[in-house]
Chains A and B, each alone.
Chain A
Amino acid sequence: MAYSEKVLEHYENPRNVGSFDKNDPSVGTGLVGAPACGDVMKLQLKISDDGIIEDAKFKTFGCGSAIASSSLATEWVKGMTVDQAMALKNTQIVEELNLPPVKIHCSVLAEDAIKAAIADYKAKRSATGATAAVSAATASQPGATT
């Protein structure tokens, strides 16, 4: 199977690989997928008090398209507001990476990972009673929780 140039490029040089401390209150962690399905994405967002995504990191167990989708997602969300990141659609990733139909689930997983990370961040903030400048709109966490 042939991969698109952009998938290969992200696969060879993945952006923002790594981890933040998941106990940091400014960090939201999304862990989605399942080992049995051959795809697990961990995406973490570092979010400022005024709701700007300052940094993002990921680790992915999965095929090249899954790695590329998560790498691209971290690149895109940096500098976005939480609301802007929530509005990202998997179809944008499909388009950017020229993913074939069989790989669309990789982009869905990346979208889910962003939403899961934001949901985790919001849950943490509300637990600590902090008032963040994030919108009240909440996403149900589609992924797994540790």
Chain B
Amino acid sequence: MAIKLPIYMDNHATTRVDPRVVEAMLPFFTETYGNAASRSHSFGWETEKATDLAREQVAALIGASGREIVWTSGATESDNLAIKGAAEFHKERGRHIVTSAIEHKAVLDSCKRLERDGFEVTYLPVGKDGLVTAESVRAAMTDKTTLVSIMLANNEIGTVNPVEEIGAVVKEKGALFHIDAVQGTGKIPFDVERAKADLVSLSAHKMYGPKGIGALYVRRKPRVRITAEIDGGGHERGMRSGTLNVPGIVGFGRAAAIALAEMPEESARILGMRERLRKGIQARVSDTFVNGSLQHRLPGNLNISFAYVEGEAMLMALKDVAVSSGSACTSSSLEPSYVLRALGVEEEMAHTSIRFGIGRFNTDEEIDYVIDLVARKVDKLRELSPLYEMVKDGIDLKSITWAAH
């Protein structure tokens, strides 16, 4: 079968919208285009009905009720609303927040802002496996801790945290539990009751839905209260004002329903492709290292370092394959991925990491094409690499005094 280039294998960044989702959305641009808050005519009633169905669909994916879903513009807004909203509302009770060093920037930067506003934040370290342990959460919590924010799955290395164990500890200590579940929902089973979650951030475009629509699950029993970030018409029970993005919401609902129905088959198929890729690469390329736990990992994630080959040069070599790198050669700081650094991956290895994100629309043929391409390009770049040459000559790279620049 002929392969269509370029191949998209960056499904942690975003996903292609499923054609079934697009189909569900289309009528809501030109036919059923009312404002869901309009109470006086059928245009409004029709769209409200559609957004209510989508609430149920999204809620069903995480074991929640539709009335616990607050629509947002995306996961960044959901994380901001959950963290700042909960911290602000409960600040009389305490001003301490616990999170982890490998959270998404939307969580970390929300916490940093709270620190500037006088809150105290504990950033839990992770082990080499990239996992946050319930024990470390327990040890960090004090009687002033009002919120714990831990991600379900990491966006770079795909590791899946033991959120059910962590949730039990958080509840035992009486704080609120926020989970950034953006990368995990729709890919692996997740249930707000089992995780004892109070607030959960969700995003449509990571699960074959449209961009610009997200949700925050806000528990009703017992009722979780947060301070709104966006004031206005009092939509979403006052927690998030603004006219609803109806086509986006409908698309999110459809995407959630598809994910829920197809998850068992799909996750097995994607895991099969991921393992085909990993084994295929490792059979042909020496000195590769998978970053983070292989066992506790999203089915579609492979984050792998190719020693002696700089990540951005690899990206250039793989120009017909859309992937990303933990090398930050493009960032002005020249610092490699903070996630890999938090795992204790040495900087030189972090610079050589490539993230493959396999998704619904990838095929075995594409995987085989990528394996062959990666193997050939690593060989080529190692021929160019002074480090590879030195190692082959028996020089220990650590014995050299490098001049940092």
Contacts and interface: CB of A to CB of B under 8 A. Distances in A.
Interface string B304-348: 000011111100100000000001111110101000000000111
B403 A34 contact: yes
A59 B385 contact: yes
Interface stretch (A62-70, A79-87, A128-136): A62-70
Contact of B386 (A3, A42, A108): A42
Nearest to A116: B403
Interface stretch (A89-97, A118-126, A138-146): A138-146
B23 interface: no
A14 B384 contact: yes
Interface string B1-23: 00000000000000000000000
Contacts of A67: 313, 384
A50 to B, nearest CB: 29
A61 B405 CA distance: 14
Contacts of A19: 389
B400 interface: yes
A109 interface: yes
A62 B313 contact: yes
Interface residues of B, number: 35
A14 B346 CA distance: 28
Interface string B286-320: 00000000000000000000001111110010000
A144 B400 CA distance: 8
Given A3-B316, A105-B405, A35 B327 contact: no
Interface residues of A, number: 37
Contacts of B404: 34, 36-37
A102 interface: yes
Contact of B347 (A36, A59, A144): A36
A17 interface: yes
B395 interface: yes
Contacts of B329: 38-39, 62-63
B42 to A, nearest CB: 49
A146 B310 contact: no
A76 B310 CA distance: 25
Interface string B386-405: 11111000010100111111
A61 B397 contact: no
B115 interface: no
A11 B315 CA distance: 12
Contacts of B402: 33-36, 40, 144
B376 to A, nearest CB: 14
Interface string B347-358: 110010000000
Contacts of B395: 146
Contacts of A59: 384-386, 389
Contacts of B313: 11, 62-64, 66-67
A34 B310 contact: no
Most buried by A among B331, B385, B390, B403: B403
Given A39-B310, A61-B308, A144 B385 contact: no
Q: Closest 6 CB pairs between A and B? A: A34-B402, A35-B348, A42-B386, A63-B312, A36-B347, A38-B351
29 contacts: A1-B330, A17-B383, A33-B402, A34-B405, A35-B387, A35-B397, A35-B402, A36-B347, A36-B348, A37-B334, A37-B404, A38-B312, A38-B336, A38-B351, A39-B310, A61-B310, A61-B384, A61-B387, A63-B327, A63-B330, A64-B313, A66-B313, A67-B384, A102-B330, A102-B331, A105-B334, A109-B405, A143-B403, A146-B390
